[in-house]
């Protein structure tokens, strides 16, 4: 009887040890309880949203000027360059004019950024898992090309989910106090466009946006992550200590990533903005022009918009607003990446992009 009790006790102990070993193994492999996983997702989304809101608000005046330069009628120039444009906005609309449309932009960019960063982490994890399965190397890491693919997936998902808000944000941004019709806010603009132009109007310019977001977001993430990895592994000029990058170094990595991405994708951004203005019956004068110079905007599609823009205004028109956008996008992307990582550290979310 005693021997059976001992046997039963030993079997129970063995089972307990095995269970603990299995739990430890699952923990090492990143498997978490559903409650923990949901909390991690929420924290990741919050970090992405905060990063988007902070970065866009910091450069809101340059963002507005960029859009004004992109869509203004070539026969009725009001904004001639970055400095002149900012001075003109300040003189005619005051301080608030510099931030016109920023509330709508933040309402769009916070969920957009949250979904983008979260989608990138999920896509990276999935692609890395597939890559390790196919290569048979459990220690394999993401290559720059795979990071580009993950970033492109994240950009398409985030952009498509919030595109109608981006469309009306563009219109709110270009309207001035003298515009013949005023959108009172994002929801009013969404309702007005839907009633007057139909549901499809909310997705005008979506195709060039999809095409443009692949190199833009893809290169942003690929360059940023690859540059960080290179700095940690090579440690050039003694910049890195203890395998940790300083905030300044991360800002520099984000700045390089933003410069590369926006330069490649910029012409598509110009075309998308112009397509978003098509069908606006009460377009702001900055778009429609005045008097004899009034020229209605009509594009049958992305290719037609490219052709007419280059034919009427030259190849340089595809880069209108590039200077303020360059000044804006470098700190914006840098601030977004660093804010995201800082907030994630504060919230205690594990980074699993390249684990």
Q: List phi, psi (to 5°) of 179.
A: -65, 140
- Express each pLDDT in 252-287 by its tens digit: 888 888 888 888 888 988 888 888 887 776 665 666
Structure tokens at 207: 């195709």
pLDDT at 284: 59
Whether 73 contacts 289, CB under 8 Å: yes
CA-to-CA dists, residue 317 to 160, 165, 302, 305, angstroms: 26, 25, 15, 12
pLDDT at 159: 86
Q: Is residue 191 very low, low, confident or very high in pLDDT (cuts 50, 70, 90)?
A: very high
Give the separation between CA 216 and CA 155, rounded to whole angstroms.
Answer: 8
Check whether 150 has a pLDDT greater than 80: yes
pLDDT at 20: 43
Alpha helices in the chain (DSSP H): 2-28, 34-58, 60-71, 82-98, 102-135, 144-174, 186-197, 206-234, 247-277, 285-288, 302-313, 322-347
Reduce the DSSP state of residue 15 to 3 states and report it.
Answer: helix
Give the separation between CA 258 and CA 334, rounded to whole angstroms.
Answer: 7
Check whether 355 has a pLDDT greater than 50: no
In three-state form (DSSP H/G/I as H, E/B as E, the rest C), the secondary structure along 319-351 is: HCCHHHHHHHHHHHHHHHHHHHHHHHHHHCCCC
- Express each pLDDT in 303-324 by its tens digit: 888 898 888 888 888 888 888 8
pLDDT at 2: 46
pLDDT at 286: 62
- Express each pLDDT in 198-226 by its tens digit: 998 899 888 888 888 888 778 888 888 88
- Express each pLDDT in 240-251 by its tens digit: 666 677 777 887
Give the separation between CA 77 and CA 90, rounded to whole angstroms.
Answer: 17
């Amino acid at each position: 009887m005693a021997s059976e009790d001992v046997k039963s006790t030993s079997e129970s102990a063995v089972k307990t040890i095995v269970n603990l070993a299995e739990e430890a193994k699952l923990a090492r492999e990143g498997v978490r309880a559903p409650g923990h996983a949901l909390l991690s997702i929420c924290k990741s989304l919050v970090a992405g949203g905060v990063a988007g809101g902070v970065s866009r608000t910091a450069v809101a005046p340059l963002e507005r000027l960029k859009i004004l330069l992109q869509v203004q009628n070539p026969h009725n120039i009001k904004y001639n360059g970055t400095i002149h444009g900012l001075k003109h906005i300040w003189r005619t609309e005051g301080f608030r004019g510099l931030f016109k449309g920023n509330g709508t932009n933040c309402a769009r960019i916070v969920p957009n950024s949250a979904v983008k960063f979260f989608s990138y982490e999920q896509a990276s994890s999935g692609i890395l898992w597939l890559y390790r399965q196919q290569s048979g190397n459990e220690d394999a890491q993401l290559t720059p090309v795979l990071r580009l693919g993950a970033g492109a997936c994240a950009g398409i998902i985030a952009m498509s989910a919030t595109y109608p808000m981006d469309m009306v944000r563009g219109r709110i941004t270009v309207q001035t106090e003298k515009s013949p019709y005023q959108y009172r806010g994002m929801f009013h603009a969404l309702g007005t466009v839907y009633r007057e132009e139909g549901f499809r109007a909310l997705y005008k310019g979506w195709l060039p946006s999809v095409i443009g977001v692949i190199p833009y977001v893809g290169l942003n993430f690929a360059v940023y992550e690859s540059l960080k990895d290179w700095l940690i592994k090579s440690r050039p000029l003694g910049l890195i200590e203890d395998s940790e990058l300083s905030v300044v170094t991360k800002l520099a990595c984000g700045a390089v990533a933003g410069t590369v991405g926006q330069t490649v994708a910029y012409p598509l951004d110009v075309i998308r903005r112009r397509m978003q203005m098509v069908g606006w019956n009460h377009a702001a004068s900055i778009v429609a022009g005045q008097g004899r110079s009034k020229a209605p905007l009509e594009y049958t599609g992305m290719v037609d918009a490219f052709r007419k823009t280059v034919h009427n205004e030259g190849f340089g028109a595809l880069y209108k607003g590039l200077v303020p956008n360059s000044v804006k996008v470098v700190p914006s992307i840098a601030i977004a990446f660093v804010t995201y990582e800082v907030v994630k550290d504060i919230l205690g979310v594990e980074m699993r992009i390249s684990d």
